[in-house]
């Protein structure tokens, strides 16, 4: 595998504690159910690497508040509007986050070489 693989493997195997996780993304068909609405990371986390958690939470809360105002507090109509109006933006952000992670964290040695040949190296 090259690079510093043996050194890193030795450190990992001998570490007193170690945490490993994967970058993942949840795509929910609806951010509401009954009288409950999710906003921010609870509903549409772009990815731990995107760095947009706070911004998406504010945008989502604003979209939800606007929907409540538009429908005079009728939560069923507000939730419908919230899910419908915010979804295109969230889908775009989530797609861009995956594309960025694919560039930053290539899956094969060839992809790593391709990334690094473009002047991006860790």
69-93 pLDDT, tens digit each: 999 999 999 999 999 999 999 999 9
pLDDT averaged over the chain? 87
Residue 39 CB neighbours (<10 A)? 20
60 lies in which domain range?
23-113
Q: 26-35: list long-range contacts, CB under 8 Å, 24+ apart.
A: 27/94, 30/83, 31/60, 31/82, 31/83, 31/86, 32/79, 32/82, 32/83, 35/75
Identify whether 18 is part of a domain: no
Identify whether 38 is part of a domain: yes
CA triplet 100, 102, 106: central angle to 5 degrees? 135
Identify whether 29 is part of a domain: yes
Q: Does this model's pTM top 0.85?
A: no
Q: What percent of the chain has pLDDT over 90?
A: 44
Identify whether 118 is part of a domain: no
Six token digits for residue 11: 């450190």
Identify whether 7 is part of a domain: no
Q: Three-state SS for 37?
A: strand
Identify whether 5 is part of a domain: no
pLDDT at residue 8, as a whole number: 85
Average pLDDT over residues 7-32: 85
Q: What total number of domains does the chain contain?
A: 1
Reported as type and span, the H/E element at residue 36 is: strand 36-37
Identify whether 87 is part of a domain: yes
pLDDT at residue 121, as a whole number: 54
- Sequence-distant (6+) residues with CB within 8 A of 24 are 47
Identify whether 62 is part of a domain: yes
24-59 pLDDT, tens digit each: 787 899 999 999 999 998 999 887 666 788 999 999
């Amino acid at each position: 595998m090259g690079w510093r693989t043996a050194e890193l493997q030795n450190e990992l195997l001998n570490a007193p504690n170690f945490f490993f996780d994967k970058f993942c993304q949840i795509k929910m068909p609806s951010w509401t159910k009954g009288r409950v609405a999710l906003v921010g990371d609870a509903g549409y986390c772009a990815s731990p690497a995107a760095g947009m958690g706070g911004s998406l939470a504010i945008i989502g809360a604003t979209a939800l508040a606007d929907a409540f105002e538009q429908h005079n507090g009728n939560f069923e109509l507000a939730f419908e509007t919230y899910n419908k109006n915010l979804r295109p933006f969230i889908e775009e952000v989530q797609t861009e986050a995956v594309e960025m992670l694919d560039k930053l964290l290539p899956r094969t040695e060839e992809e790593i070489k391709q990334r690094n040949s473009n002047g991006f190296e860790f």
